[in-house]
Chain A
Amino acid sequence: MEIEVRSVPGAAIIAAKGRLDAVTVTVFESELTGLLSGGPSRLIVNLTDLEYISSAGLRAILACSKKLQAKQGRLILVGLRGMVEEVFRMAGFLELLPVAATEAEALSKS
């Protein structure tokens, strides 16, 4: 898995590429923790190039969303497709977390 982290005005962005599983989730989680410490009000998780995700990745995203919400922030999912989108649907996360098609759309969400 490859992870890219960026900052734009008003948001932090993390993009994951490849496979987010029980092994690679440790790297993803530590990047999320690093981003949270910066206190962003909005965290965009871009999964456009993610091929595979398991419950380990969902757990990390859910935990991060809860922490952000407790500080009046929010986590927004971008680029869900294929198997990854289906896993989010099976988990009931599409009704739980805000989803945007693109980063630009996520940035414009209030």
Chain B
Amino acid sequence: MPEPLILNMTLPAELDNLDRFIEAAAALARRFGFDEAKVLKIELALEEAIVNIIRHAYAGAKGPVNLTGRAEMDQSLVIEISDQGQPFNLLALPEPDLTSDLARRPIGGLGVHFIRRIADQVRYERKSDRNVLTLVFHRNPLGQDGLSE
């Protein structure tokens, strides 16, 4: 019998655990049937989300990150990343400046931009004491692989 398309793992919010989260999500995305190009983009979205949790939601404090993944109706891969840090809605951050010249271009803010561009749907919720970020990746996205303007 094939392994069910389900992932559920919890590890401390530390950069040392980044690889384990990414590898688990990438394996799930491959089993779901995404090609390597898509898997790498999902890895990117996940890295940016987890790094934001470590830097902003926990901001130096310790705590867990829970990562879950599941296939929905065989059409979408739904990945949920949650933490118990301070309320932090990365979707409330302003869009980064992508046009000013080198001297004026701010350093930072790109992570959230990548998440928005790569995932077909992004949702943030504060559920009791948790931040919950839900990323949805469609098997057959409208537009160009979630990268359309």
Contact = CB atoms under 8 A, between A and B. Distances in A.
B43 A22 contact: no
B101 to A, nearest CB: 8
Contacts of A62: 105, 107
Contacts of B43: 52
Contact of B117 (A23, A51, A70, A90): A90
Given A21-B47, A82-B37, A83-B40, A90 B147 contact: yes
B108 A59 contact: yes
Contacts, number: 67
Given A21-B18, A21-B47, A23-B15, A59 B102 contact: no
B103 A66 contact: yes
A27 interface: no
Contacts of A54: 44, 47-48, 51, 111, 114
B19 interface: yes
Given A54-B114, A69-B103, 20 more contacts: A21-B47, A22-B15, A22-B51, A52-B43, A54-B44, A54-B111, A55-B48, A55-B110, A56-B51, A59-B108, A59-B110, A63-B107, A66-B107, A82-B40, A86-B41, A90-B113, A90-B114, A91-B114, A95-B99, A96-B102
18 contacts: A21-B47, A22-B18, A22-B47, A22-B51, A23-B19, A54-B114, A58-B110, A59-B108, A59-B110, A65-B102, A66-B102, A69-B102, A82-B40, A83-B40, A86-B41, A91-B114, A92-B98, A92-B99
